[in-house]
């Protein structure tokens, strides 16, 4: 199966962001992609954290969710919809939700980001818990021939999540992200390749990549990694499409040659 990671540089304008996403989805579909992932916050990179509250949608209904469903249906592909701010039970909070749509446009799965990013270097500071309510449940789904495990951005630093997702083993792990330039330069590729190697599966990482209108700079480097840890394709910065093939024979060969998953004791 050909898969694609889309890289964007999202703005504070939802409509503009959806236009970019539609264009890139069309490019990926024209190139033969059957499963495509958008990055975290593809629909909005606000000027303030609280901007997410303004555009938050009720689960199952809203222009962003309708857009994703329509795009999946139009192109006949599995669409991992980055993240969408969905209304939470806690007042003045939203869930950072990754919604996956089947080729007929139906909602196939929803994962709410469990681990909320906080970072303070003295020069830059982030705390997602100011407006996000954390999820609690790992989510994997069957997308055609592939078992796909869902995660979002900061989740990448928590290998226990991926162990939970990989029982039974996944063929593909998805990591839509908006890594900061600082943390991405230090750890992004290292962590993606580690997750691929330790779980012996492909990793699809769609990222924000560039300098945004709100002044934030994201690391980008959207990439696809194979189960041996080899980076198959990468885009350093700017909007674009990253493509590669998921080879199930390659998956089987890696697991047969080095049966680490069968050797687990804990």
Q: What is the pLDDT of residues 112-154, one digit of tens each?
A: 999 999 999 999 999 999 999 999 999 999 999 999 999 999 9
Q: What per-residue confidence (pLDDT) applies to 258?
A: 97
Residue positions annotated with a catalytic role: 40, 113, 153
C-alpha span between 172 and 225 (Å, rounded): 10
Mean pLDDT score, 91-114: 98
Q: What per-residue confidence (pLDDT) applies to 173?
A: 99
Average pLDDT, the chain: 98
Asked whether 7 and 208 are in contact (CB, 8 A), the reply is: yes
Q: What per-residue confidence (pLDDT) applies to 63?
A: 98
**pLDDT for 28-67, tens place per residue?**
999 999 999 999 999 999 999 999 999 999 999 999 999 9
Q: What per-residue confidence (pLDDT) applies to 121?
A: 94
CB within 8 Å of 230: residues ≥ 6 apart: none
Q: Give me the residue label for tokens 């908006």.
A: 178
Q: What per-residue confidence (pLDDT) applies to 266?
A: 87
Mean pLDDT score, 89-95: 94
Q: What per-residue confidence (pLDDT) applies to 81?
A: 98
Percent of the chain with pLDDT over 90: 99
C-alpha span between 200 and 229 (Å, rounded): 8
Mean pLDDT score, 200-229: 98
Instruction: List domains and CATH numbers for the chain.
Output: 2-263 (3.60.110.10)
* Confidence band for 11, pLDDT divided at 50, 70 and 90: very high
C-alpha span between 132 and 118 (Å, rounded): 12
Percent of the chain with pLDDT over 70: 100
Asked whether 44 and 52 are in contact (CB, 8 A), the reply is: yes
Q: Hey, which bits of the chain come out as E strands?
A: 2-7, 35-37, 78-80, 84-87, 94-101, 107-112, 118-120, 125-127, 140-143, 146-150, 172-174, 202-205, 209-211, 217-219, 222-225, 231-235, 240-245
């Amino acid at each position: 199966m050909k898969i694609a990671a889309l890289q964007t540089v999202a703005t504070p304008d939802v409509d503009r962001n959806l236009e970019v996403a539609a264009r890139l989805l069309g490019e990926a579909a024209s190139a033969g992609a059957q499963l495509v992932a958008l990055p975290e916050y593809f629909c909005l990179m606000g000027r303030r954290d609280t901007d997410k509250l303004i555009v938050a949608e009720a689960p199952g209904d809203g222009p962003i969710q309708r857009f994703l469903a329509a795009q999946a249906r139009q192109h006949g592909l599995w669409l991992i919809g980055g993240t969408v701010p969905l209304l939470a039970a806690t007042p003045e909070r939203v869930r950072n939700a990754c919604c996956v749509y089947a080729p007929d446009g139906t909602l196939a799965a929803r994962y709410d980001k469990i681990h909320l990013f906080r970072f303070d270097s003295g020069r830059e500071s982030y705390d997602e818990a100011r407006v996000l309510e954390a999820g609690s449940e790992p989510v994997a789904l069957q997308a055609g021939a592939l078992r796909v495990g869902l995660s979002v951005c900061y989740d990448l630093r928590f290998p226990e999540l991926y162990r939970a997702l990989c029982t039974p083993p996944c063929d593909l792990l998805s990591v839509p992200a908006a890594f900061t330039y600082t943390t991405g330069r230090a750890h992004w590729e290292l962590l993606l390749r580690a997750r691929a190697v330790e779980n012996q599966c492909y990793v699809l990482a769609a990222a924000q990549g560039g300098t945004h209108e709100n002044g934030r700079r994201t690391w980008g480097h959207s990439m696809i990694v194979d189960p041996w840890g080899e980076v198959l394709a990468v885009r350093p910065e700017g909007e674009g499409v990253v493509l590669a093939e998921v080879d199930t024979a390659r998956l089987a060969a890696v697991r047969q040659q080095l049966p680490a998953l069968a050797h687990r004791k804990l």
